[in-house]
Structure 1
Amino acid sequence: MEDLEQVIKKACEDLDIPGCVLQAVNRDGSFKYAKTFGKRSIQPGGDQSPLQLNSVMWIASCTKLMTSICAMQLVERGLLSLDGPIYDIIPELRDQPVLTGFDDTGKPIEVPHKNPISLKLLLTHSSGLTYDSMHPLAAGWLKYHNLVPATDSKLLTRFGRLPLVFEPGTSWAYGPGIDYAGLLVERVSKMSLQDYMKKHLWEPLGVRNMTFFLASRPDLKAHMADMNKRDPESGKIVYTNERQPYQDGEKNEVEDCMGGQGVFSSAEEYIKILQGVLATDENEKILKKETVELLFTPYLSKGGSDTLNAFMQNAEANNAMGGISQEVRKDYALGGLFLCGDAPGGKGMKEGTLMWGGVPNLIWFCDRKTGLAGLYAGQVVPPGDAKCAGFTRMFEDAMYERYKS
């Protein structure tokens, strides 16, 4: 443990990373680890005070797990179906075509989709929806129409214009499916996703300092950590003033609660979510035990699984999605990336562990077999940074070693 802390402390001093917050906990809370490193800002003239456990970060796709939990609560109550079509609730997706390619003139070839889009397909990124900057078919479609990736915060206008990139249920592509799952929660519950999370997830777990709407929480904005990027020439971390989504107050305040990417939180608050998932085996505070089994069940088709594992042979993509050895096969469950085998060496994550992360190189894991969960939280873009991934792996190994001892 001392080696981990000394290595990360030196990395911050050397500007290999600006700082990070590490959190780990077991099922009953008898094991806890919480440590901060580095500064809130490395910007000259910025707030150079140390990062704190309550330092607020844009947690990006760490939001997805919370939205999945909320959707499954409504499945438990019989208000949503896991397998049925979603079109009665989101009719906007009923006629979404499938982009199969381009003809000799470069014109997109689009056909109606046949398999219905379901909540299960949305939660496992197998609906055919994709982020417009992450798929070659989507990139080609945008180019043909002389469009650029959308940056607004209105879900249906930001993501609704693109066709599907495969027939629902037949493949895998990272995309806004869980943003649409959040819209399902809103339309069925007749509450904003923020209000729903607050009542049915955050408050039951004692979470008070999370928000989709940063302008409404100046107390949280006052604790924001700066965003950073790696300088390609020096290899060191530098401050970036590139617009951080959802950060800049009323000028760039979001219109919609983006269930796949929109929450701001501190690490000390997010770890309560992960422990809450572990503790459902005993207290069912946020989900029934049988529902958590569904949350941790892989659901991809063979085509989807093969596509996912091929995608993660890219080192940067693998780092951004957990960084576990590429030799370990992965699948996708309702709650996140699913490990189909134990991590190499037999000392770390077990088969069935879920994990995911967020754009600024945050990574969480939740291992029900071991009863351990953890979070590496930082603010470095772009995702998949190799140094951040290396420190994440070091942190996880140290937590398993310490927990087992």
Structure 2
Amino acid sequence: MTPSIALDTASTLRTYIDNATTRDKPALPGAIVHMVDKNNNKVFTYASSRAAQLSENSIALVHSLTKMVGAIAFMQLVEQGLAALDDSSVIEKVLPELAVKQVLTGYDNIGKPILVGKVGDITPRMLMNHTYGGGHSFFNPLMKKYMQDGWEKRNEVADPHQTILDAPLLWQPGTHTNYGQGFDWLATLIERLTNKNLATLLEENIFGKLGLKRLDFEETYGGDITTRPESKDLFLAEEFKAARWDLYRHWPTSPGETGARESVSGGQIPYVPAGNRTRCKHGGYCAFVYYPVTA
């Protein structure tokens, strides 16, 4: 017998979700809800949205859940003795672009940025726990003002690679927690330490060893995980080893190739190829996941 929840409980849950997503002023723009029991059997699935055509089968960008993969990849290097969480020298040697960054503290009376020298060192642990001193422009007005010149073309979406290179620190390392680009730097660190392409490394050391034969890592825009999980699998740390995901490719595979990916509403989002420009390795976001309905 297929595990399930009581019919009246399921009905109550659907009403609750609809009330949160379909009112004139919804609390949520949309929701795709899956519930599993302790054995990872899916017992409830439902999708609801006022604005978008969501279903249980919709594809959703799960953004920073991708950090799980970047963290596993780096911790494997720690296990192998190739890196250490608190070794600041590896940042200086392997990520010199990051090691020399200054700290933006404000602006003078004519609007010129005030930059001071970095005090203290950055460690891989700081990259992983968001304390290395960096931050996104869309969370931090100081950074957005700094990047304002040519903002339309110089931001984390339009040109993440150059934006991360250009952005100063906002705090001294280890003194402040802020959601930033630490995992993007971590992904570059992994590549340089191993002298391997990130996609190849993930396939060899994580996906292949776990038997995730139908999961892929797409690099054209900078490293997007594109997946179609099977009926009972979730993109959660505790389910990672058990997951078997069916590939759903959204992005073209080679520079210069054109194409599109599907949005959560089923429409097509135009793809702009990166060409041969040096790509930022996104170790911290850009995962896609698709939840099919079970019979």
With the shorter chain as reference, the TM-score category is 0.5 to 0.7
Unaligned runs of 5+ in 1: 229-238, 242-246, 269-405
Offset from partner CA, 1:335-355 (integer Å, 9 cap, x none): xxxxxxxxxxxxxxxxxxxxx
**Letter matched to residue 289 of structure 2:** S
Q: 2:47: which partner in 1?
A: 37
The CA distance in 2 between the partners of 1:117 and 1:98, in whole Å, is 13
The CA distance in 1 between the partners of 2:158 and 2:92, in whole Å, is 22
SS of the residue 1:265 aligns to: strand
* CA distance 1:120–1:113, change in 2 (3 Å): same
What TM-score do you get using the length of structure 2 for normalisation? 0.67
**Letter matched to residue 135 of structure 2:** T
**Letter matched to residue 32 of structure 2:** C
Q: CA deviation at 1:205?
A: 3.6
**Letter matched to residue 80 of structure 2:** R
Matches within 5 A, 1:108-147: 108-143=113-148, 145=149, 147=151
**Letter matched to residue 251 of structure 1:** P
The CA distance in 2 between the partners of 1:225 and 1:20, in whole Å, is 16
Q: CA deviation at 1:118?
A: 0.8
1:170 and 2:167 equivalent?
Answer: no
Q: CA deviation at 1:202?
A: 2.5
SS of the residue 1:204 aligns to: coil
Q: 2:68: which partner in 1?
A: 65
* CA distance 1:203–1:13, change in 2 (3 Å): farther
* Residue 5 (structure 1) aligned to one of 8, 14, 18: 14
SS of the residue 1:160 aligns to: helix
The CA distance in 2 between the partners of 1:9 and 1:214, in whole Å, is 37
1:260 and 2:269 equivalent?
Answer: no
SS of the residue 2:167 aligns to: coil
What TM-score do you get using the length of structure 1 for normalisation? 0.51
**Contact kept? 2:220, 2:274, Cα under 8 Å:** no
1:251 and 2:273 equivalent?
Answer: yes
Deviates most, 60-69 or 17-26: 17-26
Q: CA deviation at 1:154?
A: 6.0
Q: CA deviation at 1:124?
A: 0.9
The CA distance in 2 between the partners of 1:166 and 1:194, in whole Å, is 32
Mark the structure with the bigger radius of gyration.
2
Q: 2:34: which partner in 1?
A: 22
The CA distance in 2 between the partners of 1:35 and 1:252, in whole Å, is 37
Matches within 5 A, 1:294-373: none
Matches within 5 A, 1:67-106: 67-85=70-88, 86-106=91-111
The CA distance in 2 between the partners of 1:118 and 1:63, in whole Å, is 21
Q: CA deviation at 1:83?
A: 0.7
Q: Which has the higher helix share?
A: 1
Q: 2:200: which partner in 1?
A: 195
The CA distance in 2 between the partners of 1:266 and 1:71, in whole Å, is 26
* CA distance 1:155–1:10, change in 2 (3 Å): closer
**Letter matched to residue 5 of structure 1:** R
Unaligned runs of 5+ in 2: 1-8, 227-246, 252-259
* CA distance 1:146–1:49, change in 2 (3 Å): closer
Identity of aligned residues (%): 24
Considering only aligned residues, what root-mean-square deviation do their CA atoms show, in Å?
3.7
Offset from partner CA, 1:123-169 (integer Å, 9 cap, x none): 111111111221122123234x5645524676541211011101100
**Contact kept? 2:104, 2:113, Cα under 8 Å:** yes
The CA distance in 1 between the partners of 2:37 and 2:119, in whole Å, is 44
Q: CA deviation at 1:259?
A: 0.9
Matches within 5 A, 1:229-244: none
